[in-house]
Amino acid sequence: MFGEVTLSLLKGFGITCEIFALTLLFALPLGLIISFGSMSKFKPLKWLCKVFVWCIRGTPLMLQMIVVYYGPGLVGQWAQGIEDPGVFITWFASWTVFDRFVAVLIAFVINYSCYFSEIYRGGIESIPVGQREAGQVLGMKKSQLFFKVTLLQVIKRILPPMSNEIITLVKDTSLARIIAVYEIIYAGERFIKAEGLIWPLFYTGAFYLIFCGILTLLFGYFEKKLDYFRG
């Protein structure tokens, strides 16, 4: 029984890890881009980014997932009921739901890139202006300044808040079951329903603990590696 449960939970945990890894892969760069947008001198872009970040951080991830998954299908259904459709309505009418996993990914990437963008912004703005001015005096280009002077220090500074957010992400993946994506909690709950077994649900906690433990060690290691900036 234990082996069977473990196998089933591992299968669910595979999906959990997939959501986790793919979200990081897309959200880390997207977050950086959004942070540039919200620091932009071009006012409309700056405000667009600020409002976007406000909307995403200001609403629950669970709701965002429901909107991303059911939204397009509902719009399609609504548009199909409209008589005498224009170009846009016809296009709306062709909307259908995403694949469940894709919908989860879209919601997670957007949500986390907004949180990441604020962490990046904090990191970038914490680098003293003097350093940039010194670089300019030395004749460095803007891109050189960013990658050679700012970015490496930023990475070191944002590592602790980033690791916080990333560990939260591990556990947030459990929200995916709202739109019936088979992740580990879902796998655990299934045993209650199908076989009346309660312990598999609690057993899922072990998987999260081990995974977060590994991440914590990994971040500790990175922080040590980046220590050379000190002094």
Partner 1 sequence: MKRILALIMAVLMMSAIFVGCGSTSATPDQAESDVDYITDKGTLVVGITDYAPMNFKDDKGEWTGFDTEFAQKVGEKLGVKVEFIEINWDNKFLELDSKSIDCIWNGMTITEEAKLNASVTEPYVENAQVVVMTAKNAEKYKDAESMKDLKFAAEAGSAGESTISDNKWADYTPVKAQSDALLEVASGSVDACVIDLTMANAMTGEGTSYEDLTKALELNKEQYGIACRKDSDLTNKINQIMNDLKGDGTLEALAQKYSLTLAE
* Closest distance to partner 1 from the beta carbon of 103 (Å): 9
Q: Which is nearer to partner 1, 21 or 63 (CB)?
A: 63
Handedness of CA 193, 194, 197, 199 (dihedral sign): negative
Query: Which residue lies nearer to partner 1 by CB, 204 or 211?
Result: 204
Choose among 49, 69, 87: nearest CA to 181: 69
By the criterion CB under 8 A, which residues form the site for partner 1? 30, 33-34, 36-37, 40-42, 45, 48-49, 52, 66, 69-74, 76-77, 79-81, 83, 90-91, 93-98, 102, 106, 110, 142-143, 146, 177-180, 182, 189-190, 192-198
Q: Report, in angstroms and rounded to the nearest whole number, the Rg of the chain calculated over CA atoms.
A: 22
Nearest distance from C-beta of residue 46 to partner 1, angstroms: 9
Helices (H), 173-183: none
Angle made by CA atoms 180, 97, 92, in degrees to the nearest 5:
155
- What are the C-alpha distances in Å from 132 to residues 81, 138, 148? 58, 10, 11
Nearer Cβ to partner 1 (2/42): 42
Residues 6 or more apart whose Cβ sits within 8 Å of residue 76: 92, 93, 94, 95, 96
Smallest gap, in angstroms, from Cβ of residue 117 to partner 1? 10
Residue number, 170 or 178, with CB nearest to partner 1: 178
Q: 81 or 86, CB closer to partner 1?
A: 81
Question: Cβ 49 to partner 1, closest distance in Å?
Answer: 8
The DSSP line for 33-64 is: HHHHHHT-SSHHHHHHHHHHHHHHHHS-HHHH
Shortest separation between residue 7's beta carbon and partner 1, angstroms: 12
